[in-house]
Amino acid sequence: MGVEDIRKKMRAIPGMDILLTQDWAAPWIERLGREAVKRVFNAELTALRRRILAGENEPGEGFPERVKALCLSSLTAADKENLRRVINATGVVIHTNLGRSLLAEEAVAAMTRTARGYSNLEYDLKKGARGQRNALIEDLLCAQTGAEAALVVNNNAGAVLLCLSALARNTEVIVSRGELVEIGGSFRVPDIMAFSGARLVETGTTNRTHLEDYANAITENTSMLLKVHPSNFRIEGFTLAPERRDLAKLAQDHGLLFMEDAGSGLLVEGETLGLQGETSVRACLEQGADIVTFSGDKMLGGPQIGAVVGKKAVVDRLRKYPILRTLRVDKITLAAFEATLRLYSRGALDEIPTTAMLRLSQETLKQRAESLAGKLQAQVSAKIEVIPVEDAVGGGSYPERPLSGWGVAVSGHPAGGAGHLQALLRELDVPVLCGAREDALIIHVRTLRDGDSETLAEALSHLGGEARYDTEH
């Protein structure tokens, strides 16, 4: 292609000033703003020039309309909210990529009330003077965990960093090699410890650590024994770890702190949620931990928050540490967390979406799957089957231990196989995320919310056209 041909084709591309004056562009400028529209147009014009230079898009009859169509498509995409509601049909309850725990209606209402007006975030109404935001939730946290004192920060990683930096900076902290975990997002215990200024001392082996290993690692520079929840992995088989009570006594005998990162933050015993082998925060403290950190947005079922509970003398040291201000929690999160804790106080676990989903019985799940299957069979041109499935707690909270559940398999859909259906469902105004097995779309009912079944049935019906599935073909 000669230079003159290139120039001719480039001249056929409308300029920015022309596009901005088009009648069809005016509503978008009003809706999105002139600069935002210019960014969209510039991206499309740049891509168009590249395609023309590569010989992929030749100007000709109807070219202005093609440019208009491209711009309108990009403007429509730009108008969609980046953070959007999705339907979770994966069966993963605490889905990290989908925002983890859903908030209870009471928590949502508390957030709305707090957002709409002024609040006593840092004002003591009794004294008529400046107050502390942590005081708003401290008594509730202590009541639920049995702790002497408590405070909260932005997330559990921040809580661990705060504790190590404030309590163990420039000293040695002993950790079992089997607990030197990496959590999603490259949060590594050795790295966070180095960043805090504490010096890591590894003890034991990956699968077996004895109490004597901790004892032999203690020196005059040791300040803390640290126990870490395995989070998203589990070692099975020939394993050993000291009991908390024994670690606590060892720490006490040597004048050390015993800290535990409990990870998910169970405020009730695991058996209450149908989870075996998980220890509540209260039990960690009762068994001797001086201080425990945990998340609010995992099995606790609240907003993203990091809680620190334990002995008053230890928590008071944290209150005075300068880094605390950089990790503090905003009023909206505090409102949601307080409301969630009040639900725990009433024992209203089924009003908290996360705990409610974990507690669902097999009978209830199967009934929900059968109900969804009935809706799909009435509307969708496909083979519909109710099947047993494996769900998951998610969020690194209960690794390698699936939850038995029920779901619906969709196969023989006229729109295509499972992979194609998954892609189409992700493109909806309310995207749907499903599983797949042997080229069948798998809908896990445990994580569906009110109204999701109807939305799914309608979406799969529209994707499938009018033809009915014929079981004989």
pLDDT digits (tens, 9 = 90+) for 95-120: 999 999 999 999 999 999 999 999 99
- The larger pLDDT score, comparing residue 105 to residue 429, is at 105
The CA distance from 68 to 242, in Å, is 69
Of residues 363, 442, 357, the one with CA closest to residue 408: 442
pLDDT in tens, 2-24: 667 777 778 888 899 999 999 99
User: Which residues have C-beta within 8 Å of that of residue 128, sequence separation ≥ 6?
Assistant: none
For the chain, the C-alpha Rg in angstroms (whole number) is 28
Q: The pTM is what?
A: 0.89
- What is the CATH number that goes with domain 87-94+357-464? 3.90.1150.180
The CA distance from 441 to 175, in Å, is 44
Tell me, what's the pLDDT at 473?
A: 30
Burial of 389 (0-12, 13-18, 19+ CB in 10 A): buried
- The whole-number average pLDDT for the span 151-168 is 95
Q: How confident is the model at residue 240 (pLDDT cuts 50, 70, 90)?
A: confident
Tell me, what's the pLDDT at 198?
A: 93
- The whole-number average pLDDT for the span 183-212 is 85
Asked which of 25-39, 155-169, 236-250 is least confident by mean pLDDT, the reply is 236-250
Q: How confident is the model at residue 397 (pLDDT cuts 50, 70, 90)?
A: low
Residues forming a β-bridge with 149: 310
The single-letter DSSP state of residue 187 is E
Highest mean pLDDT among 61-75, 186-200, 228-242: 61-75
Asked which of 113-127, 228-242, 306-320, 327-341 is least confident by mean pLDDT, the reply is 228-242
- The whole-number average pLDDT for the span 31-41 is 96
Tell me, what's the pLDDT at 470?
A: 38
- The whole-number average pLDDT for the span 437-453 is 95
pLDDT reading at 469 higher than 60: no
Q: How confident is the model at residue 264 (pLDDT cuts 50, 70, 90)?
A: confident
The correct answer on CATH 1.10.540.10 for the domain covering 105-351 is no
Of all residues in the chain, the percent with pLDDT exceeding 90 is: 76
Amino acid identity of residue 393, one-letter, is V
- The whole-number average pLDDT for the span 258-264 is 92
Q: How confident is the model at residue 471 (pLDDT cuts 50, 70, 90)?
A: very low
Strands (DSSP E) found in 34-107: 87-89, 92-94
**Residue-range domain boundaries for the chain:** 3-79, 87-94+357-464, 105-351
Tell me, what's the pLDDT at 334?
A: 98
Q: How confident is the model at residue 184 (pLDDT cuts 50, 70, 90)?
A: low
Structure tokens at 441: 């779309």
The CA distance from 293 to 224, in Å, is 14
User: Which residues have C-beta within 8 Å of that of residue 180, sequence separation ≥ 6?
Assistant: 188, 189, 190, 200, 202, 228
- The whole-number average pLDDT for the span 202-207 is 89
- The whole-number average pLDDT for the span 373-377 is 95
The CA distance from 208 to 224, in Å, is 20
Instruction: Examine domains 87-94+357-464 and 105-351 and report if their fold is the same.
Output: no
Length of the chain: 473
pLDDT reading at 466 higher than 60: no
The CA distance from 156 to 161, in Å, is 9
Of all residues in the chain, the percent with pLDDT exceeding 70 is: 93
- Arithmetic mean of pLDDT over the chain: 91
Asked which of 5-9, 73-77, 222-226, 433-437 is least confident by mean pLDDT, the reply is 5-9
Strands (DSSP E) found in 413-467: 432-437, 440-444
Tell me, what's the pLDDT at 381?
A: 86
- The whole-number average pLDDT for the span 357-378 is 96
